[in-house]
Amino acid sequence: MKKSDLPQDNSDLVNFTREVCYVKNDNGKYQAELSSGWEVKTDALNSAWKDIENRIEEAKSLFISGQSSPIHYYMELKLMDYSVLSGYTGFWIWQIKRHKSPKNFKRLNVRKLQKYADAFGITLMELKTPGF
């Protein structure tokens, strides 16, 4: 791709990041240039964020309806999976899955709840009663 053909379509991330692309300059040599994005990539990113927002809303409604604990909601909100949360808390994945149950969540002691709160970067009160 020539330097003049490098896409500079603005995306939602235009003020936060730019992508390094290697293009041919006027002499035919490759050089690094910055691109603010291109439309196809912007569409893909927007689609991915919509999926994430839908998952967060689903986790929120499961919590509100009493089918899931706040752990499920905060995992989605903070973009964590079981492996990541296990690494932050020291809990086994099977334990985290159990703690996602409202019944088991209510049985957790303060020390365990604090581990989750620290992992999510929130207070203990926010973990117990998410403020939607």
Domain spans, the chain: 3-37, 41-128
Residue 14's pLDDT is 67
Does this model's pTM top 0.75? My answer is yes
User: pLDDT tens digit string along 72-96?
Assistant: 999 999 999 999 999 999 999 999 9
Residue 13 has pLDDT above 70, yes or no: no
CATH 3.30.1460 is the classification of domain 41-128: no
Residue 132 has pLDDT above 90, yes or no: no
Residue-wise DSSP of the chain? -BGGG--B---TTTTT--EEEEEE-TTS-EEEEEE-B-HHHHHHHHHHHHHHHHHHHHHHHHHHTTSS-HHHHHHHHTT--HHHHHHHH---HHHHHHHTSHHHHHT--HHHHHHHHHHHT--HHHHHS---
